[in-house]
């Protein structure tokens, strides 16, 4: 009749959260700075939740709005991480982009020079590839570029769940539906890393007030669960150090 084993609480241990089953959500917003980015910034700030913005270099450089919005993200480093999502976003010609990995690599380096991120996290345009310590998911199309980004020490993070948008660029799933899917993915361990879930959204989905309210509602629903914490992707397990 032995007693319960003692749980060793080792302060500062990176294993602690995994041991206790704490579940971490990473909100990520892609393709800004665009109309809608300021709503994402405002809502995350009001709700005091961390998020990661995958920025497109071209969108940052082409207007004063882009530069100001970019600066707003950088200025709130406690809450936000800014990461590299390429310079041209493949000009939305993905086949051409990924068939020319050398120029695609240069595109990421150009974005790095413009965005000057303080982390080495990237996301491929239009492709859910991953490359971290112990995690590699890349289709044959993107593998040559993934290997090149890897060789210069960059991490690639995709997503576990996407909040999709329709032809008008407006959110498809309701906040309640999406929150239930989050619960289910955690419960059934259907995330790339157990107990860690990355959500992909696009800034432009939340440009209309009615749609930005949906983002706020979604975040509130997740907070009400009481069992999730929000982090920036700079805290994701397995990042290669630069």
Q: Which residues bind Zn ion (CB under 5 A)?
A: 30-31, 125
Supply the minimum distance, in Å, between the C-beta of residue 89 and Zn ion: 6
Which DSSP letter does residue 123 get? Answer: -
CA atoms within 13 A on the CB side of 101: 12
Nearest to 124 by CA among 141, 203, 181: 141
Which is nearer to Zn ion, 111 or 179 (by Cβ)?
111
Closest to 52 in 3D by CA, of 209, 160, 222, 201: 201
Of 162 and 234, the one with the shorter C-beta distance to Zn ion is 162
Kindly tell me which of 172 and 176 has the beta carbon lying closer to Zn ion. Answer: 172
* Residue 126 CB, nearest approach to Zn ion (Å): 6
Output 138 or 179, the one with its CB closest to Zn ion: 138
Separation between Cα atoms, residue 106 and residue 100, nearest integer Å: 10
Encoded tokens for 187 = 């419960």
Shortest Å, Cβ 88 to Zn ion:
11
Q: Is 187 exposed, middle or buried (0-12, 13-18, 19+ CB in 10 A)?
A: exposed
CB closest to Zn ion, residue no: 30
The least CB distance from residue 16 to Zn ion, in Å, is: 34
Nearer CB in complex with Zn ion: 23/85: 85
Instruction: Name the residue with tokens 């309640």.
Output: 176
Minimum CB–partner distance for residue 85 and Zn ion (Å): 6
Counts of helices then strands in the chain (DSSP H, E): 9, 10
Residues 145 and 214: their CA atoms lie apart, in Å, by 35
Please say whether the beta carbons of 90 and 108 come within 8 A: no
Cα(238)–Cα(242) distance, rounded to whole angstroms? 12
| Shortest Å, Cβ 61 to Zn ion | 17
Which residue number, 94 or 217, has a Cβ lying nearer to Zn ion?
Answer: 94
């Amino acid at each position: 009749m032995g007693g319960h084993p003692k749980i060793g609480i080792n302060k500062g241990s990176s294993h602690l959260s995994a041991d206790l089953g704490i579940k971490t959500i990473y909100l990520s917003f892609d393709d800004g700075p665009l109309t809608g980015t300021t709503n994402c910034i405002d809502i995350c700030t009001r709700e005091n939740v961390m998020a990661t913005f995958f920025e497109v270099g071209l969108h940052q450089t082409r207007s004063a709005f882009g530069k100001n919005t970019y600066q707003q993200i950088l200025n709130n480093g406690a809450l936000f991480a800014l990461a590299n999502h390429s310079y041209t976003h493949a000009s939305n010609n993905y086949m051409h982009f990924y068939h020319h990995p050398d120029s695609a690599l240069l595109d990421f380096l150009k974005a790095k020079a413009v965005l000057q991120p303080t982390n080495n996290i990237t996301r491929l345009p239009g492709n859910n590839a991953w490359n971290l310590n112990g995690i590699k998911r890349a289709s044959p199309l993107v593998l040559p570029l993934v290997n090149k980004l890897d060789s210069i020490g960059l991490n690639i993070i995709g997503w576990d769940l996407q909040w999709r948008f329709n032809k008008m660029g407006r959110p498809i799933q309701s906040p309640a539906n999406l929150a239930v899917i989050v619960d289910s993915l955690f419960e059934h361990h259907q995330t790339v890393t157990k107990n860690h879930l990355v959500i992909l959204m696009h800034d432009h989905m939340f440009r209309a007030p009615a749609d930005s309210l949906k983002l706020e509602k979604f975040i509130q629903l997740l907070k009400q669960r009481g069992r999730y914490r929000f982090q920036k992707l700079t805290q994701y397990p397995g990042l290669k150090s630069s």
